[in-house]
């Protein structure tokens, strides 16, 4: 890896400044790999934005727009600093690194650098994490990277050249549902590999924004909207069984997906 290569850390925030600030400060204090952090405020309207905010969006445009805005900011920064981003770490504010993680960035960057077939590597989830993808993303205590078929953008480190080549994330999927299954499916299609790093731990608490009364709708309402949005956009592209195709077609090819 060249000295000039860096990692862009993208964190969208909506009414969760204390959690966003904690993520930024943990990374700043512990990550040794060269990096820049981009906090995108997705229209916070109940509390002030994070003190580390890079860009403020006036209205809540949801998660995917925050990620894509952060990536555009990273593009701009590349021109300013005369360097390039080797990888993008994409995060959400329902996540928090635990002390056992140590450096949350360098081991993942080094793994991507040494494994050219890897499209993405994700921190492992702690055993008390709550998320639909907990089973395949949970720490199993080995302390080593292991291959999987699907990861979330809780704390995902994407190889920049690959993510850019496939067009990053589908902007129409504003609420994030369907985004990760699609890009992971594309990675498997392209014979790229997907990994969990069990030496780096992160805790995910689902629906924390709702329990803190920081959201502009209930979790059930958002789930309905996100599900309908994913169906409206993905079904015409992948067919009626798009969920199975994008998320579970790997089963036909074995636990490691396409070989």
Domain ranges of the chain: 5-252
pTM: 0.92
Decide if pLDDT at 222 tops 80. Answer: yes
Q: Three-class SS string for 224-237?
A: HHHHHHHHHHHHHH
Helix, strand, coil content of the chain in percent (nearest 5): 40, 25, 35
Decide if pLDDT at 3 tops 50. Answer: no
Decide if pLDDT at 146 tops 50. Answer: yes
Mean pLDDT, the chain, whole residue set: 89
Percent of residues, the chain, with pLDDT higher than 90: 67
Which pLDDT belongs to residue 251?
53
pLDDT band at 252 (very low <50, low <70, confident <90, very high): low
Percent of residues, the chain, with pLDDT higher than 70: 94
pLDDT digits (tens, 9 = 90+) for 180-195: 999 999 999 999 999 9
pLDDT digits (tens, 9 = 90+) for 7-40: 999 999 999 999 999 999 999 999 999 999 999 9
The alpha carbon torsion through 253, 256, 257, 259 (nearest 10 deg) reads -80
Which pLDDT belongs to residue 259?
39
DSSP code of 205?
B
Q: Which two tokens stand for residue 67?
A: 């990620």
Comparison of pLDDT for 153 and 255, the residue scoring more: 153
Which pLDDT belongs to residue 112?
96
Which pLDDT belongs to residue 100?
75
As beta bridge partners, residue 10 has: 38, 90
CATH number of the structural domain 5-252: 3.90.550.10
Q: Which residues contact 224 (CB under 8 A, 6 or more apart)?
A: none
Decide if pLDDT at 255 tops 70. Answer: no
Distance of alpha carbon 253 from alpha carbon 244, whole angstroms:
13
DSSP 113-142: HH-TTEEEEEEEEPTT-B-TTHHHHB--S-
């Amino acid at each position: 890896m060249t000295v000039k290569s860096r990692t862009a850390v993208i964190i969208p925030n909506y009414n969760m400044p204390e959690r966003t600030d904690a993520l930024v400060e943990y990374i700043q204090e512990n990550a040794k790999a060269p990096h820049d952090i981009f906090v995108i405020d997705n229209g916070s309207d109940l509390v002030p934005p994070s003190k580390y905010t890079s860009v403020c969006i006036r209205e809540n445009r949801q998660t995917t727009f925050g990620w894509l805005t952060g990536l555009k900011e990273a593009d701009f920064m590349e021109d300013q600093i005369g360097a390039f981003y080797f990888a993008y770490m994409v995060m959400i504010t329902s996540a928090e690194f635990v002390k056992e993680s140590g450096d949350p960035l360098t081991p993942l960057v080094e793994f991507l650098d040494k494994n050219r077939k890897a499209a993405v590597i994700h921190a492992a989830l702690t055993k008390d994490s709550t998320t639909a993808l907990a089973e395949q993303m949970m720490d199993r205590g080995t302390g080593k990277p292991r291959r999987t078929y699907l990861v979330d953008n809780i704390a995902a480190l994407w190889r920049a050249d690959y993510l850019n080549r496939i067009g990053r994330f589908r902007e129409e999927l504003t609420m994030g549902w369907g985004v990760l299954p699609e890009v992971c499916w594309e990675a498997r299609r392209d014979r790229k590999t997907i990994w969990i790093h069990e030496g780096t731990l992160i805790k995910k608490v689902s629906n924390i924004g709702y329990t803190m009364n920081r959201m502009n709708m209930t979790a059930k309402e958002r789930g309905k909207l996100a599900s309908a949005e994913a169906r409206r956009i993905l079904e015409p592209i992948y067919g009626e069984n798009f969920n199975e195709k994008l998320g579970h077609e790997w089963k036909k090819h074995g636990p490691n997906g396409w070989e």
